[in-house]
Amino acid sequence: MLRRNAKGNLVLETEAIIPYELAVGDTWNRFFDGMRNEKIYGTMCPKCKRVLTPARKFCPRCYVDMDEWVELGNEGEVFCWSLTNYRFFGMPTDPPFITGFIKIDKSDNLFVHLIGGFDMSDLDWIKKKMKRGTRVSAVWENVKTGCIMDIKYFKPMFAD
């Protein structure tokens, strides 16, 4: 409750947990159903013709409905990446881990996920291997729960 901080000032410590419960909605439900079957879907904009993944109800730029669903492949290319080596609240796995932008084949935007399946102790080695355009493919969890982490990570070809 009340205590002195490092500067010697009196502070009141409290903690709050506020529970929320979010509606997933039709579009996400359909996208996650695809994930359960190891399929990644995007939707195509009738106006700008962009294919965006995860699937959307509407094009965020053109502001028109996106009714056309496109099944994308399970593969793509690295666009950029970073290695996280510190702990933060809500992180997906223990550090070190790599997150990145992946350009999934047949899509026009970048998909954010983990890149993994190899040893991460040598940053210089990773920097030599992982370039823009490095091919990756999705590695799926055996048991799927219908969420974004049904994909375990994207594994680079060099790690095979």
Partner 1 sequence: MGKHYKTLRHDVWLPHEFAVGPVFERFYEGLKQEIIWGTKCSGCKKTLVPARTFCPECLVDMNEWVQVSQKGKLVSWTLANYQFYGAPTEPPFVGALIRLEDCDCDFLHLLGGPEFEDLSTIKSKLKKGSDVRAVWNEEKKGHMLDIKYFKLM
Partner 2 sequence: MGRAVAVIGIGQTKHGDRSEITYPDLVREAVKAAIDDAGLDIEDIEGVVYGSMPSMMEGVGMNHFYFAEALGAVGKEFMRTETCGTTGISLAFTGYYWVASGCADLVMVVGSEKQHEGDSQAAIVTVYDPLYQRPFASGAPGIYSWLSQDWMWRYNVPEEKARDAAARLSVDHHRDALKTPYAHIRKELSLEDVKTSPILVYPIRLYDTCPASDGACAVIFGSEDAVKRLGKKAAWIKGVGFRGDEYVFGDADRVVSECASQAAAAAYDMAGVTDPLTELDVAEPYNPFTFMEMIHYESFGFCEPGQAADEILKGTFGPGGKLHCAPSGGVLCTNAIGACALMRVAEIALQVTGKAGERQVDGAKLGFAHGLGGLNQFNGVMILGRDK
Partner 3 sequence: MSGRVAIVEAAQTRGPESSENFLDQVYDVCREVLDKSGLAKGELGTVISAASDIFHSGMSCANAYYWDSGAAAVKNGSRNDGESLTAAIYGAFRILSGHFDTALVLAVCKGSENPDNDMLTHFFTDPFYQRQIGLNETFAAGLQMREYLERYGVSEEQCAKVVVKNRNNALRNPYAHLRQRVELDQVLNSERIMDPLKALECAPKSEGFAAVLLASEERAKQLTDKPVWLTGWGTSMDKFYLGDRDLLKGQLSVAAQRAFKRAGVDDPGKQIDVAEICEPYAFQELLWYEALGFCEEGEGGRFIDSGATEINGDLPVNPSGGVLSNNAYISRGLIRLVEVTLQLRGQAGERQVNRRLTRGLAHGTQGFAGQFHAVMIAEI
Residues that bind partner 2 (CB under 8 A): 5, 7, 9, 11, 14, 16, 18, 22, 24, 28, 52, 54, 60-61, 79-86, 88-92, 99-101, 109-114, 123, 131-132, 147-149
> What are the angstrom distances between the C-alpha of 144 and each of 35, 99, 102?
8, 21, 21
The token duo for 125 is: 């080695």
Interaction with partner 1 in 27-56: which residues (CB under 8 A)? 29
123 binds, options partner 1, partner 2, partner 3, none, Cβ within 5 to 8 A by partner type: partner 2
| 114 φψ region: left (φ > 0), alpha (ψ -120 to 50), beta (else) | beta
Least distance in Å: CB of 3 to partner 1? 9
User: Which residue, among 50, 33, 27, has the nearest Cα to 109 in the 3D structure?
Assistant: 50
Q: Which of 8, 23, 63, 121 binds partner 1 (CB under 8 A)?
A: 23
Binding of residue 6 to partner 1 (CB under 8 A): no
C-beta of residue 53 within 8 angstroms of C-beta of residue 39: no
Q: How many residues bind partner 3 (CB under 8 A)?
A: 20
Instruction: Choose one: 23-31, 77-85, 99-107, 116-124; the region binding partner 3 (CB under 8 A).
Output: 23-31
DSSP-derived 3-state class of residue 31: helix
Residue 129: how many other CB atoms lie within 10 Å: 15
- Interface contacts to partner 3, rule CB under 8 A: 12, 14, 16, 18-28, 57-58, 60-63
